[in-house]
Amino acid sequence: MKQQLDAIRETAEKELENIKTTADLDSFKVKFLGKKGELTNILKQMGKLSPEERPKMGQLANEVRAFLENKVDEQTKKIKDIERNLKLASETIDVTMPGKTAPLGHKHPLSIVLDEVKEIFMGMGFDIATGPEVEWDYYNFEALNIPADHPARDTQDTFYITEKMLLRTQTSPVQIRVMEKQKPPIRILAPGRVYRSDAVDATHSPLFHQIEGLVVDKNITMADLKGNLEQFAKRLYGEDTKIRLRPHHFPFTEPSCEMDVSCFRCGGKGCSFCKGEGWVEILGGGMVHPKVLKNGGIDPEEYSGYAFGVGLERLVLFRFNIDDMRLLYDNDMRFLSQF
């Protein structure tokens, strides 16, 4: 039996040296030290020994067991170290490698210019107002002094939903909605989508954007309109920009005007862009018509106001020197990623 024990100890020791993984170590433990392992098998034969031999063999067997358990512990530590180093090596991060750049989105040119315009007017104390795109005929036309038979209706090719409901053709109805809810002083900017049944070409689209402005207070005059809009033009197109007001007609303002700015390409000398004029038109405006103030629930004897309406697309085309409005709606990344 002593020989058997010595033999186990010898083979076990050799096998152990070659073990390189935790899994192999586990099967080794089962094979030699487990309940059905080789050592236990030998101990089961103890009964056949004489009473004198038994304690000696018992001691020897325990020594072998202790020896092997010790060795297993040592090997376990070694393997753990090796496995840990392997794991660390495979997880090494080279912090000097360049990072992966996430593709950043771009602001749409319409948003860039709208944000600038908002910024300019908010700096002058304007609040942002909104109104519905599906609008009543009353707000879009009637209350703005454009009755049913008014020729101005023909110039705005309207998408009607019912006889009384339509897609707003202008942001001007927001004027009435704001006046109905708010007492003067009023100072609002109302940007939004508007709709007209126009065929698509380089300068027309059935959906486009306007920005409406409305100021109502005591003693508001044309000088306020001129001063504020001059500031706006200079902030948007540069300090050297000049403005001029030309008489015009809108049903909801009296007097009415159109505002030109000095041509941003030639600075006013006259070029192909401004058709030799030196000026380009950018907005319409005027003093709010007394009837319109009344329709908004404001007493025209006590208050006066000015209003204006700008086409956002026009501002964008001028600003970025783009000659076709369709580019703004095509969502072509080759175009959009330039901004």
Q: Which residues bind ligand DAH (CB under 6 A)?
A: 170, 172, 212, 250, 253, 284-286, 307-309
Instruction: Give the nearest residue (CB) to ligand DAH.
Output: 309
Show Cβ contacts of residue 299 under 8 Å, excluding neighbours closer than 6 positions.
Answer: 293
Are the C-beta atoms of residues 156 and 135 closer than 8 Å to each other? no
Nearer to ligand DAH, 208 or 318 (CB): 208
Minimum CB separation of residue 199 from ligand DAH in Å reads 18
Minimum CB separation of residue 175 from ligand DAH in Å reads 7
Indicate the SS3 state at residue 339.
coil
Minimum CB separation of residue 193 from ligand DAH in Å reads 13
Minimum CB separation of residue 166 from ligand DAH in Å reads 14
Do the strands 165-167 and 134-136 form a parallel or antiparallel pair, or are they unpaired? Answer: antiparallel
Nearer to ligand DAH, 28 or 121 (CB): 121
Nearer to ligand DAH, 120 or 211 (CB): 211
221 alpha carbon, distance to own chain's centre: 41
Are the C-beta atoms of residues 313 and 210 closer than 8 Å to each other? no
DSSP letter string, 173-222? HHHHHHHHH-PSSEEEEEEEEEE--PPPBTTB-SEEEEEEEEEEETT--H
Residue among 210, 190, 229, 230 at smallest CA distance from 313: 210
Minimum CB separation of residue 124 from ligand DAH in Å reads 17
Nearer to ligand DAH, 170 or 304 (CB): 170
DSSP letter string, 232-278? HHHHHH-TT--EEEEEEEETTEEEEEEEEEE-TTTTTS--TTTTTSS
Tell me the CA distances in angstroms from 105 to 29, 101, 102, 108, 339, one per residue in order. 60, 12, 9, 9, 10
Nearer to ligand DAH, 71 or 118 (CB): 118
Minimum CB separation of residue 224 from ligand DAH in Å reads 13
d(CA 244, CA 260): 5
Nearer to ligand DAH, 131 or 286 (CB): 286
Rounded (5°) CA angle 228-320-272: 90
Residue 35 has a CB neighbour count (10 Å cut-off) of 6
Nearer to ligand DAH, 64 or 229 (CB): 229
Minimum CB separation of residue 305 from ligand DAH in Å reads 10
Minimum CB separation of residue 146 from ligand DAH in Å reads 10
Say how many Å lie between the first and final Cα of the chain, rounded.
89
Nearer to ligand DAH, 2 or 204 (CB): 204
Tokens 């840990």 -> residue: 84
Nearer to ligand DAH, 32 or 318 (CB): 318
- The structure tokens listed for 50 are 């004489």
Minimum CB separation of residue 330 from ligand DAH in Å reads 24
